[in-house]
C-alpha cells in the first residue's frame, strides 16, 4: 500500500529541551511539498555536533529532531522533483548544493546559501515544518533531521548513491568522514612529504588523519587527552600521538620542538577556542596552514597576537570538508565501494535506534569513535 501523499506516523527521537535525554515518541511526518523528498532513514551516525545541541553549546530552536549523518531510501517525492524517484538509495546533505548561488558557482566554494547552519530557523524553505508530535510543531535540524524513521528534505539537500552501497557504513559520508578527510585533501591540500598535527581523535579527527595519509604526509601527529584513542589513530595513519596532559610545556611548543619549527598543516577537530589558537601556533610561522574543522562554541571569541598571521601563516575553516555535497557524496561512496577509503575502521558500535541514549553515552565517555543507529 502506497504511503505517497499521506501523513506517515513513525518513531523519532525528540530533543524537547537541552541537557535532557532523547525522548522516543510517535510523530507525524507530512508528505513532501514541491521540490522536497521524503526519505525512510535506515542508518544514522551519532556525531558530536548533535551532542553540542543537547549540551546547549550550539543554540537551536527546540523542540527538534536532531541527526544529520545518515542514509536511507526515497519513499516519495514532491511536485517538480526530477533528480530522484521512490526506491533510490540516498544520503541527506546538511550542506545543500543548489547549483545557482555564488558558493555553488565558484569552483572552490561549497557552502551553499540554502544551508540552515548560521542562524538556524529549524524550518523548511517555505518557513514551516513537516514534523508534529502530540499536536506540537517539531523543528528540523540543519535541513536533515535523521533521528527519525522518516524525514523530509529539500531536493538540493540529498544525493543519490550506488544502490549496492551498505547504508550502515556509507552514512558516515553524510558528515564525519567527508568533513575530516576533505579538510586534509581539499581544504588544506596537504602535500606529499609534509608534517601534520591533528587535534582531536574522534571520528572526524581520525578521518582527517586518513586524509593526511592519503595525501602522502610523512609525519602525522595525533593529539588527544584520551590516550585510549591512540591505537586506532596509529592504525589509521598517525605516525605518533601525544597527550597534552603529559607535557610539561604548552602543546604548541612541544610540537614546534618535535618538528624543528612547526608543522606544515594543523587541524583543530574539537571545537574549542584554546585548541584553535594552539593549532594555529603549532604550525610553521611563515608557510604553515591551520584549519578549523570543529564547530566553534556559540558566542565565544578568540584573542590572538596578529603577528602569528603577519609572518605568513594561513588560518582557514572547512565546512563539510570543502566538498560540493550533491556532486561529491556519490563519488565518495564509489570510492568506498572500490575500497579506496576505509569507513569500517571508524565504526565501533552499531545499535538499534531505540538505544540512542546509550549511543550518546558512549560518545560522551570517550568509549566510541562512531556509533551507528539502525532502524
Q: Catalytic residue positions?
A: 47, 49, 52, 68, 175
Q: Give 323's contacts (C-beta < 8 A, 6+ positions apart).
A: 110, 178, 182, 186, 329, 332
Q: What is the DSSP letter of 237?
A: T
Burial class (CB in 10 A: 0-12, 13-18, 19+), 337: middle
Q: What is the DSSP letter of 124?
A: -
Which DSSP helix (H) or strand (E) runs through 65? strand 64-65
Q: Specify whether the CB–CB gap between 291 and 268 falls below 8 A.
A: yes
Q: Which of 14, 76, 15, 6 is nearest to 40 (CA)?
A: 76
Q: What is the chain's alpha carbon radius of gyration, rounded to the nearest angstrom? A: 20
Using CA atoms, how far apart are residues 58 and 122, in angstroms rounded to an integer?
A: 13
Grouping H, G, I as helix, E, B as strand and the rest as coil, residue 77 is strand
Q: Which of 74, 68, 106, 104 is nearest to 89 (CA)?
A: 74
Task: Calculate the dihedral angle through the C-alpha atoms of 366, 368, 373, 374, rounding to the nearest 10 degrees.
Answer: -160
Using CA atoms, how far apart are residues 94 and 144, in angstroms rounded to an integer?
A: 6
Tell whether the torsion through CA atoms of 96, 97, 98 and 104 is positive or negative. positive
Which DSSP helix (H) or strand (E) runs through 302? none
Amino acid at each position: 500500500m502506497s504511503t505517497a501523499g499521506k501523513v506517515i506516523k513513525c518513531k523519532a527521537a525528540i530533543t524537547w529541551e537541552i541537557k535532557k535525554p532523547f525522548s522516543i515518541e510517535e510523530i507525524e511526518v507530512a508528505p513532501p511539498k514541491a521540490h522536497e523528498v521524503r526519505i525512510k532513514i535506515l542508518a544514522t551516525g551519532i556525531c558530536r555536533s548533535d551532542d553540542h545541541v543537547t549540551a546547549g553549546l550550539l543554540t537551536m530552536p527546540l523542540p527538534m529532531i536532531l541527526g544529520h549523518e545518515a542514509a536511507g531510501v526515497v519513499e516519495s517525492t514532491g511536485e517538480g522533483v526530477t533528480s530522484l524517484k521512490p526506491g533510490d538509495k540516498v544520503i541527506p546533505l546538511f550542506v545543500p548544493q543548489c547549483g545557482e548561488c555564488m558558493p555553488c558557482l565558484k569552483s572552490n566554494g561549497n557552502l551553499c546559501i540554502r544551508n540552515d547552519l548560521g542562524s538556524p530557523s529549524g524550518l523548511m524553505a517555505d518557513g514551516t515544518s513537516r514534523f508534529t508530535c502530540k499536536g506540537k510543531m517539531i523543528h528540523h535540524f540543519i535541513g536533515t533531521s535523521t533521528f527519525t524513521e522518516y524525514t523530509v528534505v529539500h531536493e538540493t539537500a540529498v544525493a543519490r548513491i550506488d544502490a549496492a552501497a551498505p547504508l550502515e557504513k556509507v552514512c558516515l559520508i553524510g558528515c564525519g568522514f567527508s568533513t575530516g578527510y576533505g579538510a586534509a585533501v581539499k581544504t588544506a591540500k596537504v602535500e606529499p612529504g609534509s608534517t601534520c598535527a591533528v587535534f582531536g581523535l574522534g571520528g572526524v579527527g581520525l578521518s582527517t588523519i586518513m586524509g593526511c595519509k592519503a595525501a602522502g604526509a610523512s609525519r602525522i601527529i595525533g593529539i588527544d587527552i584520551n590516550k585510549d584513542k591512540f591505537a586506532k589513530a596509529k592504525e589509521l595513519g598517525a605516525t605518533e600521538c601525544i597527550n597534552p596532559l603529559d607535557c610539561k610545556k604548552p602543546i604548541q611548543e612541544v610540537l614546534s620542538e618535535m618538528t624543528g619549527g612547526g608543522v606544515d598543516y594543523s587541524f583543530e577537530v574539537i571545537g574549542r577556542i584554546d585548541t584553535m589558537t594552539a593549532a594555529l601556533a603549532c604550525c610553521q610561522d611563515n608557510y604553515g596552514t591551520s584549519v578549523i574543522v570543529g564547530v566553534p562554541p556559540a558566542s565565544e571569541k578568540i584573542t590572538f597576537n596578529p603577528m602569528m598571521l603577519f609572518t605568513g601563516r594561513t588560518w582557514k575553516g572547512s565546512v563539510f570538508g570543502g566538498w560540493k555535497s550533491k556532486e561529491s557524496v556519490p563519488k565518495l561512496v564509489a570510492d568506498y565501494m572500490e575500497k579506496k577509503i576505509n569507513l569500517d575502521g571508524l565504526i565501533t558500535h552499531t545499535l538499534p535506534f531505540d538505544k540512542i541514549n546509550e549511543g550518546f553515552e558512549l560518545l560522551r565517555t570517550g568509549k566510541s569513535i562512531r556509533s551507528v543507529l539502525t532502524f
